[in-house]
């Protein structure tokens, strides 16, 4: 009994310390007027209909691009430009070797084609997301394998972050923009930044900025990536481009910093649209359940013991 009382006192004493780490704060709801203006309504399902890369920024250092696409726009493969000056020598060599595998007819392993958690910024290649806005947090669901991100609003990173697949994410609104800051992103055997095998280190730091754009501005952003990306009007998760849609698009502008891999911070954008769904709802897509149907999955995660 004394031992139980001692444990209870210890847990009670720990509560204030945890509360200081994260106290839920009502950041407002979409449509509410905050200090910097109305909170944007970013909620709902969004789809991107190009693959596999990111859209280059209007100015400044950009992401790794596909050398194969610049040589032959009709040839499909993931051969990254290892001469991009943002890469440090060891990172450039990793991208070069990854491209060699693709050129020889192999499949460069990455978290998506091996059914591992995506991590950031690789997750931004996902073709569908669903954003749930709450007063004290943002939840982002992925159409790929139903992975989930949770972003605490108006909070700070803890002094010591335990690395996780999606890192520790905190966010706030700046006028019409949702800003998310993420550190502590875990790495695994197939963790890469993009479809070209670009690595990252524990120093990875990603800042996302989400905002709504008028149709023409969003379309212009998508067209910037047309030389790099292949359009897909229907995704394998069942999201369909609505060709009659002329509403607002959702732009993600993100910046990547990692002095263990990159010589300088770089940025890119992704454009999302309101999609149709051939299933009439948020689709179900479980990677590991389908791994036997596609020959390129070799090392899907396996449980050490049954759940039940």
| pLDDT tens track for 57-114 | 989 999 999 988 755 545 567 899 999 999 999 999 999 999 999 888 888 889 988 8
In a domain, 106, yes or no: yes
List the structure tokens of 62: 């950009």
The answer to whether position 300 is within a domain reads no
Q: Measure the CA–CA gap between 171 and 138, rounded to whole angstroms.
A: 8
Please indicate, yes or no, if residue 306 is contained in any of the structural domains.
no
Query: CA-based angle 211:269:60, to the nearest 5?
Result: 115
pLDDT of the residue at 235: 81
Q: Is residue 265 part of a domain?
A: yes
Q: Which residues contact 66 (CB under 8 A, 6 or more apart)?
A: 52, 53, 77, 78, 79, 80, 81, 196, 228
**pLDDT mean over 210-217:** 97
Nearest to 268 by CA among 95, 50, 117, 89: 50
Q: Domain for residue 118, yes or no? A: yes
> And the tokens for 41?
């309504």
pLDDT, residue 23, reads 58
**Mean pLDDT over each residue of the chain, to the nearest integer:** 84
Query: What pLDDT, on a 0 to 100 scale, did the predictor assign at position 1?
Result: 45
Task: Decide if 299 is inside a domain.
Answer: no
| Cβ–Cβ under 8 Å, residues 205 and 257 | yes
Q: How far is CA 250 from the centre of its chain?
A: 14
Secondary structure class of 4 (helix, strand, coil):
helix
Mean pLDDT for the stretch of residues 156-165? 96
- Secondary structure of residue 47 in the 3-state scheme: strand
Q: Please give the residue that has the higher pLDDT: either 18 or 118.
A: 118
pTM assigned to the model: 0.85
The answer to whether residue 243 sits within a structural domain is yes
Task: Tell me, yes or no, whether 4 lies in a domain.
Answer: no
pLDDT-derived band at 296 (thresholds 50, 70, 90) equals low
The least confident of 24-28, 95-99, 173-177, 267-271 is: 24-28
Residue span of the structural domain in which 161 resides: 25-293
Q: How many domains does the chain have?
A: 1
Percentage of the chain lying above the pLDDT 90 cut: 55
Strands annotated E in 175-223: 177-183, 205-213
Q: At residue 18, does pLDDT exceed 50? A: no
Distance CA 108, CA 219 (A): 31
Comparing 24-33, 107-116, 123-132, 170-179, the range with the smallest average pLDDT is: 24-33
pLDDT given at position 62? 97
């Amino acid at each position: 009994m004394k031992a139980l009382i001692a444990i209870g006192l210890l847990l009670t004493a720990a509560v204030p310390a945890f509360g200081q780490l994260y106290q839920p704060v009502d950041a407002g709801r979409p449509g509410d007027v905050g200090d910097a203006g109305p909170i944007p309504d970013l909620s709902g399902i969004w789809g991107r209909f190009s693959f596999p890369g990111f859209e280059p920024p209007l100015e400044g250092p950009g992401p790794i691009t596909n050398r194969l696409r610049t040589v032959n726009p009709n040839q499909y493969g993931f051969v990254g430009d290892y001469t991009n000056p943002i890469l440090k020598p060891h990172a450039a060599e990793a991208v070069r070797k990854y491209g060699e595998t693709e050129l020889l007819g192999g499949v460069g392993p990455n978290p998506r084609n091996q059914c591992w958690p995506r991590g950031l910024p690789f997750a931004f290649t996902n073709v569908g997301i669903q954003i749930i806005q709450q007063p004290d947090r943002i939840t982002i669901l992925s159409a790929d394998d139903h992975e989930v991100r949770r972003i605490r609003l108006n909070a700070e990173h803890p002094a010591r972050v335990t690395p996780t697949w999606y890192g520790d994410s905190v966010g706030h609104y700046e006028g019409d923009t949702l800003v998310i800051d993420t550190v502590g992103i875990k790495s695994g055997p197939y963790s890469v930044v993009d479809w070209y095998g670009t690595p990252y280190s524990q120093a990875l730091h990603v800042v996302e900025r989400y905002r709504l754009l008028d149709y023409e501005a969003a379309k212009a952003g998508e067209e910037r990536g047309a030389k790099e990306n292949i359009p897909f009007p229907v995704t394998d998760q069942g999201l369909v481009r609505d060709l009659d849609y002329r509403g607002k698009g959702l732009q993600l502008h993100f910046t990547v910093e990692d002095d263990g891999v990159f010589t300088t911070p770089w940025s890119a954008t992704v454009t999302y649209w309101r999609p149709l769904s051939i299933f009439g709802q948020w689709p179900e897509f479980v990677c590991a359940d389908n791994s036997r149907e596609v020959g390129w999955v070799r090392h899907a995660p396996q449980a050490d013991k049954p759940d039940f």
